[in-house]
């Protein structure tokens, strides 16, 4: 098949949607499908450093089209501020010949990537020239809209992925509900244009039903168990990581992801404040970047928790795996998650998980209560503390939860997600 993936946030990946698009693109190309990606152009906003053994094809901007970049992914390493999937990809997990089209873009606030603004003429020209069989669009952005219009003009079937909630765009504290209504009206218009929709979780599917009556298939974002694997790192590397962040002698809670309002990191600081008052030797390791990083660091300092809370920034290569390896518990207090790739990563790395209860947090679906972790209240930190202590005080329980997480995540291996999508694509093309 000749497949076109559309995402403003891929190559390099920004956030969960970008990671999902990137992984699926690479997986489809690895299976021999012809893959192109339409995305934003972030030159000057994010510095790319490529170590390339050879470039298959590269063509500069012309009057007729935007810059086209086709790299042999097997020999390319993406070193980007927001991209966790780069130099530590094994050759078996890379793919050859993905052609990437980039368009004029504007940056989003809060380090959330960029949005592309292509013309319909350029999009249509690309789709015709590449003889695309099917288009998979993952964001209801201007790029997604123009590609959708181009697909309808030519007669190409379209799969729309659901990867963004209203709460990701407009926080619940935002005073003007009019904007929320406008956004939901746009979602209703956009998602009703699909031939088939794909949602990464059952909760995501239920939310999506508010916007469309079109058929919805649940397909996990997937996780690469070859990539997120404790065998990738040595005990020496783990000990060096512990020393760097002063983790020795502490039990470690880990959060990985964007530092933004919807991730509710402030609540994790409340939990840590209560743990400190009880004089428990627990440390919170926060990895990632985001608009709230400086504010969160200052708040942790004001609360006298410089030793108890460490902000690592973005971790690359084996350091990212070491963060998971050093953790006793992965903790997530998000208001909004349509699945949570970070939780899948933690489970792949055999971690007990604690997930905050929120009506729009699908990560709760990954918890088998008492078996691989617990859910906890986002109103009373005492419940989270009780469950943290329950896990940390019982090594047998913690070990059992770690193995159960690994068993549960087997249903989400990336190969299964790619196979499901292949079936969906083929049914639409035929």
Domain boundaries in the chain?
2-222+413-429, 230-412
What interhelical angle do 15-30 and 414-429 show, nearest 10? Answer: 70
Per CATH, 2-222+413-429 and 230-412 having the same topology is answered yes
Model pLDDT, residue 111: 61
Tell me the CA distances in angstroms from 295 to 169, 261, 265, 311, one per residue in order.
20, 11, 11, 12
Q: Give strand pairing partners of 355.
A: 332, 375
Cβ contacts of 401 within 8 Å, gap of 6 or more: 352, 353, 371, 372, 373, 391
Distance between terminal CA atoms of the chain?
11
Q: Which residue has the higher pLDDT, 249 or 425?
A: 425
Rounded Cα gap, residues 411 and 422, in angstroms: 17
Q: Does domain 230-412 have CATH number 3.40.50.2000?
A: yes
Which CATH architecture group holds 2-222+413-429?
A: 3-Layer(aba) Sandwich (3.40)
Is residue 51 very low, low, confident or very high in pLDDT (cuts 50, 70, 90)? very low
Assess whether pLDDT exceeds 80 at residue 72: no
Across the chain, what does the average pLDDT equal? Answer: 87
Rounded Cα gap, residues 278 and 76, in angstroms: 49
Phi, psi angles (nearest 5°) of residue 110: 75, 25
- The DSSP-derived string for 299-332 is HHHHTT-TTTEEEEES--THHHHHHHHH-SEEEE
For tokens 């350029």, the residue is 122
For residue 22, count CB atoms less than 10 angstroms from its CB and return exposed for 0-12, middle for 13-18, buried for 19 or more.
buried
Model pLDDT, residue 43: 47
Rounded Cα gap, residues 60 and 128, in angstroms: 20
Is residue 182 very low, low, confident or very high in pLDDT (cuts 50, 70, 90)? confident
Model pLDDT, residue 95: 45
**Mean pLDDT lowest among 74-83, 137-146, 229-238:** 74-83
Average pLDDT of the residues in 1-28? 92
Pairing of strands 114-116, 134-137: unpaired
Model pLDDT, residue 66: 46
Q: Give strand pairing partners of 329.
A: 253, 352
- Output the pTM of the full model: 0.87
What interhelical angle do 381-392 and 265-277 show, nearest 10? Answer: 70
Rounded Cα gap, residues 207 and 186, in angstroms: 15
Of 296, 384, 293, the closest CA to residue 333 belongs to 384
| Length of the chain measured in residues | 430
Average pLDDT of the residues in 114-130? 95
């Amino acid at each position: 098949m000749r497949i076109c993936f559309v995402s403003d946030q891929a190559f390099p990946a920004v956030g969960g949607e970008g990671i999902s698009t990137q992984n699926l693109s690479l997986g489809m190309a690895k299976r021999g499908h012809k893959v192109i990606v339409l995305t934003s152009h972030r030159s000057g906003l994010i510095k790319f450093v490529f170590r390339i053994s050879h470039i298959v094809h590269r063509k500069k901007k012309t009057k007729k089209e935007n810059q086209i970049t086709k790299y042999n992914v097997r020999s390319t390493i993406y070193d980007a501020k927001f991209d966790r999937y780069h130099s530590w990809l094994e050759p078996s997990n890379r793919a050859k010949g993905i052609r990437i089209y980039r368009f004029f873009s504007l940056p989003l606030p809060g380090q959330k990537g960029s949005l592309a603004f292509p013309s319909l003429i350029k999009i249509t020209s690309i789709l015709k020239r590449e003889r695309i069989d099917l288009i998979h669009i993952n964001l209801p952005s201007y790029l997604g809209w123009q590609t959708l219009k181009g697909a309808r003009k030519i007669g190409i079937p379209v799969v729309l992925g659901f990867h963004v909630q209203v709460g990701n765009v407009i926080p619940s504290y935002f005073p003007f509900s009019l904007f929320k209504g406008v956004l939901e009206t746009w979602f209703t218009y956009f998602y009703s244009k699909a031939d088939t929709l794909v949602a990464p979780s059952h909760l995501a599917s239920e939310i999506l039903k508010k916007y469309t009556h079109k058929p919805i298939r649940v397909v996990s974002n997937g996780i690469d168990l070859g990539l997120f694997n404790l065998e990738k790192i040595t005990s020496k590397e783990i000990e060096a990581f512990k020393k760097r962040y002063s983790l020795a002698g502490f039990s470690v809670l880990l959060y990985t992801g964007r530092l933004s309002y919807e991730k509710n990191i402030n609540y994790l600081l409340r939990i840590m404040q209560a743990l400190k008052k009880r004089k428990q030797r627990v440390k919170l390791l926060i990895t990632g970047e985001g608009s709230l990083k400086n504010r969160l660091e200052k708040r942790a300092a004001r609360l006298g928790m410089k030793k108890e809370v460490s902000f690592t920034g973005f971790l690359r290569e084996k350091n990212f795996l070491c963060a998971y390896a050093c953790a006793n518990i992965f903790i997530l207090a998000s208001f909004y998650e349509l699945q949570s790739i970070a939780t899948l990563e933690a489970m792949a790395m055999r971690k007990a998980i604690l997930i905050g209860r929120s009506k729009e947090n699908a990560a709760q679906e990954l918890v088998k209560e008492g078996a691989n972790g617990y859910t906890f209240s986002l109103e009373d930190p005492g419940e989270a503390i009780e469950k943290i202590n329950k896990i940390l005080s019982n090594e047998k329980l913690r070990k059992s939860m770690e193995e159960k997480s690994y068993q549960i995540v087997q249903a989400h291996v990336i190969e299964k997600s790619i196979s499901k999508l292949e079936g969906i694509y083929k049914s639409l093309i035929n």
